[in-house]
Amino acid sequence: MPSPDNRHPVAVAVEWVSRITAIALEILAFIWLGSWLDSKFGTRYWTLVGVVVGPVLGFWHLLVLTRGPSQEKTKRGEDSRS
């Protein structure tokens, strides 16, 4: 059984805001990088790659962050009774 979080609710909220901001920046960074590569090399496909890869990786990161402790143990193959 997970231990309760004894931190102030504002501290928990700030932690989640920073996590979500980091994910948003990851998504935007891929889009910006694709756009920059297109302008540097005169191509038109890197922005599209950034638009696809950025959100996919960002949402994957969000799913990893929101995974509960019991799911982490199951993923590692540990016995849930221990």
* Cα separation, 63 vs 68, whole angstroms: 10
* Cα separation, 75 vs 63, whole angstroms: 14
Task: Annotate 14-40 with b (16+ C-beta within 10 A) or e (fewer).
Answer: eeeeeeeeebeebbeebbebbeebbee
Q: What is the pLDDT along the chain (82 residues), one digit of tens a residue?
A: 455 789 999 999 999 999 999 999 999 999 999 999 999 999 999 999 999 999 999 999 999 998 876 665 666 666 555 5
Handedness of CA 59, 65, 68, 71 (dihedral sign): positive
**Does the pTM exceed 0.75?**
no
